Structure 1
Amino acid sequence: MDHVVTLNAGSSSLKFGLFATKAGEPCVICTGLVDRIGSAEAHISARLSGGETLFDEVSDSIRDHDIALDQVLTLLQQEFPEARIAAVGHRIVHGGPDNDRPVLLTPDSLRSLESLAPFAPLHQPYNLAGAYAAMKRFPDAAQVACFDTAFHRTQSWVNDTFALPGEYYDMGVRRYGFHGLSYDYIAGHLQQTAPDLHAGRVVVAHLGNGASMCAIKDGRSVGSTMGFSPLDGLPMGTRSGQIDPGVLLYLLEQKGMEAAEVSDLLYRKSGLLGLSGLSNDMRALEKAGTTEAGNAIAYFTYRIRREMGSLSAALGGLDALVFTGGIGENSALVRQQACEEMGWLGIDLNSDANQSNATTISSDMSRVQVMVIPTNEELVIARAALNVMS
């Protein structure tokens, strides 16, 4: 029996999965997560499909993504030595303007994707490092790239461009959007479970250490909060989100900062970490009880409300709001604050349902259905890997 491995590297995490193939469909055997990479509390865990714990360990030795990846691949080979890996599916954050679907990785395509690293410096190098490592571990397996930008290639020109001279658009300065694998899964899930909502106007909030929102109509991306890079839109764990370009010019021209310093500020020292002065982890901020932590959460949820209104305008109304991602699926406080004062849009929460992380957390009086749907990017990647391989 053929098996598929999925690798999904985030800015501070690495999700992975092992799937068997049955009747051409992936069937999950094991999924896992390396979380808080680079901290003293880095955590690697894996569970079998039935929920049984396969591995659960806190380690201060997982200093970077390379070490995390090596431990994951070693774990899979040790625990499942009989697995015949026919394909490895990789989440690749940036696919550029032309990749609107998964592709088989080749030396040429890898070089092309490496050239996009400046567009997503916090992710692309880790994604491609995973591809190279998997090629060494599984030299006979098909290596398949699944792009976070591909889902948004359906956006119209007005949502794809900036108000710059046309030659910049031609050279690739566009609004690409990200987290497309997550949005793809949510759209497919709604198509199966709530076809009326799938055909309607939906805003999905993918909230995690990286955070964005997407307007989806009839299963297709209409607009996204992220643009040219994964910096735009919502504030994130360590990323600033939307910022006036004049601030950057001021830092460069008046404060004498180098481009590398500004990049480090925007990608690694801002967001929830910068605002709170404490942590980029929402769990830690909710427990902290400090004024700064509370302000960071308040700013995060305020920006969610702002973007929710903007995306609803792009859709011409709103039928459903879906929360997903690590924060979206688990933080009742963030969901509650994000929906405060949104009655004008037709949103009314059921506080008990929200506290229990129910699937539907809107009240019977709510015109907009508010849902919590766990995303499954690994399943999207596994299916794509099988399709490309076949």
Structure 2
Amino acid sequence: MILVLNAGSSSLKIEVFDEGLRSVVAGSVTNLGTRGELKLGETASKVDTRDHAHALELMLTALAEASFPLSSFAAAAHRIVHGGAVMTAPARLRPPVIATIESVIPLAPLHNPNNLAGVYALQKMAPDLPQYCSFGTAFHATNPQVATRYAIPQTHHDAGIRRYGFHGLSYANMVADFGDALPEHLLAFHLGNGASLCAIKDGKSIATSMGYSPLSGLTMGTRSGDIDGAAVLRMSKSLGEDETDRMLNKTSGLQALAGENNMKTLLEREDDAAKFAVEHFCYWAARHAGSAVVAMGGIDAVAFTGGIGENAAPVRDRIMELLSFFGSLPVHVIRADEEKQIARDAFALIAEGR
């Protein structure tokens, strides 16, 4: 079995998979650093945690009590949000790989340090347990340079300012789930509080809507999506850099348009603000979709994943209505499962003897 870990800013999520990629048990520790909850399977209890290491210690104890001792795992595998331009494939977490992940922390300062916290903690508790990682950016490494390069001076490009793309594990899992039935030109939407799309041609990412950060592209739950750089500069002059960053990532998107970012609630509301917010979400998803179709030179099918993509039929229907000029297209709804993809990657590396 493989233990998959996803260490966030205030939570630690785990899931155990067997070699058939079946989920055996899942759990989480929430509200790290304060009073939170430890959940494993159907059992939940209140806990006080200090940090990621303490949360992991509590989770490993709970797993052992549930007949999943640390010795029962062949390896552990982690989600790492950003691999930069170098880490473009899953890898075993040896010192050079960890050093590379540390070096790209400036590209994902809110995510990579938390992801690494889980790695460091498990290293101390089980130094002999092989650890692997999968990157949220790696799936988009197949984008051509014309799709990733900003038209900016070379010095800034060399400093890492380029399009990377995110939600890569979700898209990779989608491709794997299709198997031999994968369409040649697939327009894929990952729609949740964070939202993006990906042009997938012959199983490879050709273009994606997110760029240097997860802020760009589609309208999202609390992120603005695409916005003119000059507008950002103007706002930062009055608000300051940190407050502008917080506004664009935390209080924009659906939240700014309708006062909340819960799509289910917005669809139930009858007021004009809610209706406009939903339309804005769908309009910009479809508008960016046109760009993606150009990038891959055609479209054979559309796939939706993510919390909104899987559960909000009115959103899917409206997006497809806006895309109806492409003709009648097959529409697929696929369950998002990044943890399964991380386990899949780790088992593949183990099979290769890495």
Structure 2 equivalent of residue 237 of structure 1? 221
Structure 2 equivalent of residue 181 of structure 1? 169
Return the alpha-carbon distance in structure 2 between the equivalents of residues 321 and 11 of structure 1: 33
Q: Gapped runs of 5+ residues in structure 1?
A: 47-53, 347-365
Q: Gapped runs of 5+ residues in structure 2?
A: none
SS at match of 1:145: strand
Preserved CA contact (<8 Å) 2:283 2:322? no
* In the alignment, structure 1 residue 369 sits paired with structure 2 residue 327: no
Return the alpha-carbon distance in structure 2 between the equivalents of residues 334 and 12 of structure 1: 30
Structure 1 equivalent of residue 297 of structure 2? 316
* In the alignment, structure 1 residue 16 sits paired with structure 2 residue 11: no
Return the alpha-carbon distance in structure 2 between the equivalents of residues 374 and 229 of structure 1: 24
Question: 1:111-260 maps to which residues of 2 (within 5 A)?
Answer: 111-192=99-180, 194-195=181-182, 197=183, 200-253=184-237, 255=238, 257-260=239-242
Preserved CA contact (<8 Å) 2:164 2:213? yes
Which of the residues 284, 304, 326 maps onto 2:265? 284
When residues 233 and 335 of structure 1 are mapped into structure 2, their CA distance, relative to the original with a 3 A threshold, is same
Preserved CA contact (<8 Å) 1:6 1:89? yes
Deviation, structure 1 residue 382: 0.9
Letter paired with 1:371 = H
Deviation, structure 1 residue 173: 1.5
Stretch moving more, 132-141 or 64-73: 64-73
- TM (norm. structure 2) is 0.87
Stretch moving more, 313-322 or 55-64: 55-64
Which of the residues 273, 276, 286 maps onto 2:255? 273
- Dislocated runs of 4+, deviation >6 Å: 10-13, 58-68
When residues 251 and 182 of structure 1 are mapped into structure 2, their CA distance, relative to the original with a 3 A threshold, is same
Return the alpha-carbon distance in structure 2 between the equivalents of residues 303 and 204 of structure 1: 14
Deviation, structure 1 residue 126: 2.4
Preserved CA contact (<8 Å) 2:219 2:254? yes
Preserved CA contact (<8 Å) 1:86 1:140? no
Cα RMSD over matched residues? 3.0
* In the alignment, structure 1 residue 4 sits paired with structure 2 residue 2: yes
Deviation, structure 1 residue 92: 0.7
When residues 109 and 341 of structure 1 are mapped into structure 2, their CA distance, relative to the original with a 3 A threshold, is closer
Which of the residues 24, 27, 34 maps onto 1:29? 24
Deviation, structure 1 residue 118: 3.0
When residues 109 and 336 of structure 1 are mapped into structure 2, their CA distance, relative to the original with a 3 A threshold, is same
Structure 1 equivalent of residue 310 of structure 2? 329
Cα deviation 1:294-332 (Å, max 9, x = unaligned)? 332221111111111111111222101000011111111
Deviation, structure 1 residue 121: 3.4
Return the alpha-carbon distance in structure 2 between the equivalents of residues 59 and 246 of structure 1: 47
Return the alpha-carbon distance in structure 2 between the equivalents of residues 71 and 210 of structure 1: 30
Deviation, structure 1 residue 71: 5.8
When residues 286 and 89 of structure 1 are mapped into structure 2, their CA distance, relative to the original with a 3 A threshold, is same
Cα deviation 1:100-147 (Å, max 9, x = unaligned)? 111122344334323323322342232222222333443321121201
Return the alpha-carbon distance in structure 2 between the equivalents of residues 190 and 101 of structure 1: 20
SS at match of 1:340: helix
> Percent of aligned positions with the same letter in both sequences?
42
When residues 293 and 115 of structure 1 are mapped into structure 2, their CA distance, relative to the original with a 3 A threshold, is farther
Return the alpha-carbon distance in structure 2 between the equivalents of residues 281 and 129 of structure 1: 30
Return the alpha-carbon distance in structure 1 between the equivalents of residues 309 and 212 of structure 2: 23
Between Structure 1 and Structure 2, how many residues are aligned? Answer: 348
Which of the residues 86, 100, 104 maps onto 2:88? 100
Return the alpha-carbon distance in structure 2 between the equivalents of residues 217 and 102 of structure 1: 21
SS at match of 2:74: strand
Stretch moving more, 168-177 or 6-15: 6-15
Preserved CA contact (<8 Å) 2:2 2:18? yes
SS at match of 2:212: coil
Letter paired with 1:379 = K
Letter paired with 2:97 = S
